[in-house]
Amino acid sequence: MAARRPSLLDFMRGNAPLQAVSRCRFVLSGSPIEYTLKRSQRRRSITLTIDENGLRVGAPWRATQSRIDNLLASHAHWIARKLTDWQARRPPPFTWQAGATVMALGEPLTLEVDAASKITTRCGKCLTVGTGTDDPDILARHVVAWLRDTAQGWFEQRAGHFARVLDVRAPTIRLSNARTRWGTCHPDGRVLLNWRLIQAPPALIDYVVVHELAHLREPNHSPRFWHWVASVLPDYKERRLALRRDAIRYLLA
């Protein structure tokens, strides 16, 4: 049975969800452009955001589709330019092979294959993969496993540190495989962090960790929430901007 779409009566009664996310499409210069539409009860205006994940539209719950379409049409040139800019910044397709470069904590590491070893280890600027084959799938599996192990330890250490600073209980850290979300904080204290984040510099990782832990203080994005974030990272705005702007540089794997 298809899910029932919340009605206006639901909204008036307060039974509608706080937000809803869907994929939509509009035509730009004769070409279809897909975008993510996020409706929220709390939102008061329509916003447009473009980053490495494409176009995202934030809208009030009761905003009509025609109103959204009109805004997209009025910003068509800006949307086209920003999408082109992001496409130009996107790195070339990654090839899993010896000599390729992956990022770890914001630093480039050159992949080496060592048939005599059975483990993956970092030595300076190299990541040596213990495998007797140069099969791309096997190489990728070994490197991703190393990145995930590194991420688990790093995230737990940073979360423990910032939990003490924020005076909250140290959360259980789980790794996520999300494509469009860096982290999620659950009401029960679990925090999910995207393992790919381990490829970014430590300052950007800290921003995401603090952001999620601050939700243990304020489960929203109210001024009080950002006050908690700023109390730990006074330059959080610069870090947030850098994450949005530069993350694509680090996500080669």
For residue 172, CA distances in Å to 156, 186, 242 come to 8, 10, 27
> In a structure prediction context, what are the per-residue pLDDT tens digits for the chain, which is 253 residues long?
333 444 434 433 445 556 788 999 988 878 888 999 999 888 899 999 988 778 999 999 999 999 999 999 999 999 998 888 877 777 667 789 999 999 999 999 999 999 888 899 999 999 999 987 888 999 999 999 999 999 999 999 999 999 999 999 999 999 998 877 899 998 888 999 999 999 999 999 999 999 999 999 999 999 999 999 999 999 999 999 999 888 777 776 5
The residue type at 41:
Q
Q: Cβ(39)–Cβ(26) under 8 Å? A: no
All structural domains of the chain:
8-89 (no CATH), 134-250 (3.30.2010.10)
Closest CA to 155 of 214, 210, 109: 210
The answer to whether the beta carbons of residues 159 and 173 sit under 8 Å apart is yes
